[in-house]
Chains A and B, each alone.
Chain A
Amino acid sequence: AQSVSQHNHHVILSEAASLELGCNYSYGGTVNLFWYVQYPGQHLQLLLKYFSGDPLVKGIKGFEAEFIKSKFSFNLRKPSVQWSDTAEYFCAVSDRGSTLGRLYFGRGTQLTVWP
């Protein structure tokens, strides 16, 4: 089974700072990769996804993520965070060939952005 690691449990930044959240997965085969975000009081929402092709993926709200196969990593980045980015961020993986209903999630990273 997959295992997904998110390196930071809680990240605190000031507005306009750059963000990078780490995510590593264990499976050596072909995978689909996702970042989900949960804003306070809201449901989990898809931020971006990678299936194949260009390893640099752009998502909503200025987020992007880079898939580095050799490092089993899929780090999330944003050049300049805003207060409204305060949320919990989850990295998730599915095995290629499996349905997308079965995702393996990391433990999440709480991002707090101070105005």
Chain B
Amino acid sequence: KAGVTQTPRYLIKTRGQQVTLSCSPISGHRSVSWYQQTPGQGLQFLFEYFSETQRNKGNFPGRFSGRQFSNSRSEMNVSTLELGDSALYLCASSLAGGEDSPLHFGNGTRLTVT
């Protein structure tokens, strides 16, 4: 079974631009979560989607948004990029987000903002 796939693997953007990251969950998984990983803050929860609905959101500004499609694939968007948005963005999927369905992580998208 294929794992969680994130594209692209690397991205370089300029301050002020916007970016869209993509995540394809494991087949059959309906819950997708996004995390930001930085050396300074560690792993921080961004948001979680289940059946195309956002059901949890972390403490990030409104410039960070996401969505989930009917096939469970998810995208996250960051608008008006800032230097501090440089990070590894991780996507994780699970069957339904319940206790018997732990998170499976992708390899991440490394975003560099210059």
Q: A residues engaging B (CB < 8 A)?
A: 1, 32, 34, 36, 42-46, 49, 51, 90, 92, 98-108
Contacts and interface: CB of A to CB of B under 8 A. Distances in A.
Contacts of B103: 46, 100-101, 103
Interface size, B (range) = 20 to 34
A17 B80 CA distance: 49
B89 to A, nearest CB: 13
Give the dominant DSSP class at B's interface: strand
Nearest to B59: A1
B94 interface: yes
Given A43-B108, A106-B42, A101 B50 contact: yes
Given A43-B106, A100-B97, A105 B42 contact: yes
Contacts of B92: 44, 101
